[in-house]
């Protein structure tokens, strides 16, 4: 008799299940790399008519971290979009829109924002995009939109990775945190206060800073050490049982201080970046309010500071 089991959350399993004689052989099925994603897209596109200009390699490059089911959804969504528009073949624009739907949900044009909210969202998203274009290690900005999507997204900034990444340096992580904080700082610069719209950005920035300190040994005060065991105490976590930690209260205090220091340094850095490019920030927000979505060459020129060139092209 052979007993097999599958899980997407191996970290929450009771270690006793993994002992010899039980589930002691593990087969890890990781998410596909760019070659795997291209192959999966080709399989799902067999029953779909694609326009000659469609390059599935480019679509694969746009979808790092996507599982096979996500890629299947993209092809199916793109086919539905093309059919609704009366097209004979699926075009790249349909696949791009399908990616947006899978990532952030359906457009919610019925979600009407007030004039002030729309203004805040435009500056917020342009803040993300401008920081991403200003730091060395951020992925290129592909599209910026203030069209509400999904349950809570009022706008979003898409970055397109140029390659699959498996290792990140400290400077690359710091640049990612800077991009996350760009929206909040943009609000602060323009309005002198911040809104609740940056709560998810702050949560992700804090989580990444904590990983730098506790898992990656990137704290100057704590040195090249790790704190906490991802496998320890997970089985009963969340069930009302206390989670033990393997370090002292004093160490916990230092960890919190180091996390705060990383985030505050990033905030100061982003204030300097956006303060120096305030004219681009304001101009970009105005274009977003007018067009709702910026992408391609107009967006590239805008972020590069070519204000007049953008002004002429988008009108």
pLDDT at 243: 55
Q: How confident is the model at residue 186 (pLDDT cuts 50, 70, 90)?
A: very high
The whole-number average pLDDT for the span 122-146 is 93
The answer to whether residues 65 and 161 belong to one domain is no
Last residue in a domain, options 104, 127, 153:
104
Is 6 within a domain?
no
Whether 296 and 169 share a structural domain: yes
Which two three-digit tokens encode residue 33? Answer: 């790399």
Tokens of 23: 């589930």
Residues 90 and 204 in one domain: no
Which pLDDT score is estimated for 59? 92
Q: Are residues 138 and 55 in the same domain?
A: no
Mean pLDDT comparison of 54-63, 257-266, 283-292, 301-310, highest-scoring range? 257-266
Same-domain pairing of 209 and 291: yes
State the pLDDT at residue 85: 92
* pLDDT grade for 3, boundaries at 50, 70 and 90: confident
The more confident residue out of 307 and 63 is 63
Which residue among 38, 77, 96, 125 is the active-site one?
Answer: 125
* Domain containing residue 54: 34-104
Task: Between 230 and 48, name the one with better pLDDT.
Answer: 48
Does 27 reside within a domain? no
CATH of the domain at 164: 1.20.58.760
Lowest mean pLDDT among 10-24, 82-96, 192-206: 10-24
Whether residue 2 is contained in a domain is answered as no
Place of tokens 């916990």: 252
Beta bridge partner(s), residue 294: 144
Question: Does residue 95 sit in the same domain as residue 143?
Answer: no
Structural domain includes residue 8? no
pLDDT at 288 over 70: yes
Structurally, how many domains does the chain consist of? 2
17 within domain boundaries: no
Is residue 261 situated within a structural domain? yes
pLDDT exceeds 50 at position 150? yes
- 125 belongs to the catalytic site: yes
144 three-state secondary structure? strand
Reported as a pLDDT band with limits 50, 70 and 90, residue 313 is very low
Q: Is the domain of 68 the same as that of 126?
A: no
DSSP reduced 3-state for 84: helix
Count CB atoms within 10 A of the CB of residue 211: 13
Q: Are 99 and 119 found together in one domain?
A: no
What pTM value is reported for the model? 0.79
Give the CATH number, domain containing residue 85. 1.10.8.60
The answer to whether residues 64 and 187 belong to one domain is no
Instruction: With a cut of 90, say whether residue 190 has pLDDT above it.
Output: yes
178 domain-assigned = yes
Q: Do the domain assignments include residue 22?
A: no
């Amino acid at each position: 008799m052979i007993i097999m089991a599958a899980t997407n959350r191996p970290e929450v399993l009771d270690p006793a299940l993994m002992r010899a004689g039980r589930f002691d052989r593990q087969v890890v099925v990781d998410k596909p790399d760019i070659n795997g994603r291209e192959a999966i897209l080709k399989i799902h596109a067999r029953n779909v008519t694609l326009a000659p200009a469609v390059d599935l390699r480019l679509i694969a490059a746009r979808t790092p971290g996507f599982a096979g089911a996500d890629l299947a959804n993209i092809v199916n969504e793109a086919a539905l979009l093309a059919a609704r528009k009366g097209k004979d073949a699926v075009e790249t624009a349909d696949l791009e829109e399908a990616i947006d739907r899978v990532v952030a949900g359906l457009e919610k044009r019925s979600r009407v924002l007030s004039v002030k909210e729309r203004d805040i969202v435009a500056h917020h998203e342009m803040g993300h995009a401008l920081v991403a274009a200003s730091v060395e290690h951020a992925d290129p900005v592909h599209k910026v939109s203030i069209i509400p999507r999904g349950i809570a997204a009022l706008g979003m900034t898409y970055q397109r990775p140029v390659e699959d990444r498996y290792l990140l340096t400290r400077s690359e992580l710091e640049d990612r945190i800077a991009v996350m904080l760009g929206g909040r700082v943009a609000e602060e610069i323009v309005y002198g206060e911040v809104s609740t719209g940056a709560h998810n950005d702050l949560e992700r920035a804090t989580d990444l800073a904590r990983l730098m300190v506790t898992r990656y040994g990137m704290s100057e005060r704590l040195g090249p050490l790790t704190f906490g065991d991802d496998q320890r105490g997970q089985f009963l976590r969340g069930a009302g049982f206390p989670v033990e930690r393997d370090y002292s209260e004093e160490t916990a205090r230092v960890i919190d201080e180091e996390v705060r220091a990383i985030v505050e340094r990033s905030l100061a850095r982003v204030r300097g970046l956006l303060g120096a490019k305030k004219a681009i920030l304001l101009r970009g927000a105005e274009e977003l309010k007018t067009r709702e979505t910026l992408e391609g060459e107009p967006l590239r020129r805008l972020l590069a500071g070519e204000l007049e060139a953008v002004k002429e092209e988008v009108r």
